[in-house]
Amino acid sequence: MADRIPRNRRDLKRERHAIAIKIEREGYEVAMPCERCWNAKPRKRCVMMEGLNKCQNCVRMGKKCSSPNVTDAYRFLVVFLCSLGLLTVLVLSNLSEQEKVSKEIAETEALLAQMLSRLSRLRRL
């Protein structure tokens, strides 16, 4: 504790502001914004950057961000949709394999419906 360098609020605020500017320049707008950006009036753009757990607005304000969980779920959903698309394009010669794949597609679609409903609930929070 004795080795710890005291930092003043002004320096922390400047550091947060610089990180927020970097996120704005190098980041990407997420499809499902965090709770703070979603509830803002007028609604704010929720911009995130790889490797950071907070969006630009939450970093700037120094607040906790709810976006990472939703973002991870969204990425999982995108990967899932891509794999579903690849499965439907697959051409199979054996009828039993086609039946197996159609069952797998049906299971995947059911899981996808569950994920979409969960994302919808999370977005309403």
CA dist., res. 122 & res. 125, Å (int): 5
Kindly state whether residues 28 and 57 are assigned to the same domain.
yes
Kindly state whether residues 70 and 59 are assigned to the same domain.
no
Kindly state whether residues 53 and 79 are assigned to the same domain.
no
* 107 sits in which H/E element: helix 95-124
> In terms of DSSP H, where are the helices of 27-66?
35-39, 56-61
How far does CA 52 lie from the centroid of its chain? 11
Which one has a higher pLDDT value, 27 or 125? 27
Average pLDDT, the chain: 77
Kindly state whether residues 53 and 28 are assigned to the same domain.
yes
Kindly state whether residues 33 and 58 are assigned to the same domain.
yes
Collapsed DSSP state (helix, strand, coil) of residue 110: helix
Q: Are 37 and 70 in contact (CB under 8 A)?
A: no
Kindly state whether residues 56 and 106 are assigned to the same domain.
no
How far does CA 35 lie from the centroid of its chain? 12
Q: Which domain holds residue 56?
A: 1-65
Q: Tell me what pLDDT residue 92 has.
A: 46
Q: Tell me what pLDDT residue 84 has.
A: 64
pLDDT per position as a tens digit, 43-102 = 888 888 888 888 899 999 999 888 655 556 666 666 676 666 654 554 444 556 667 777
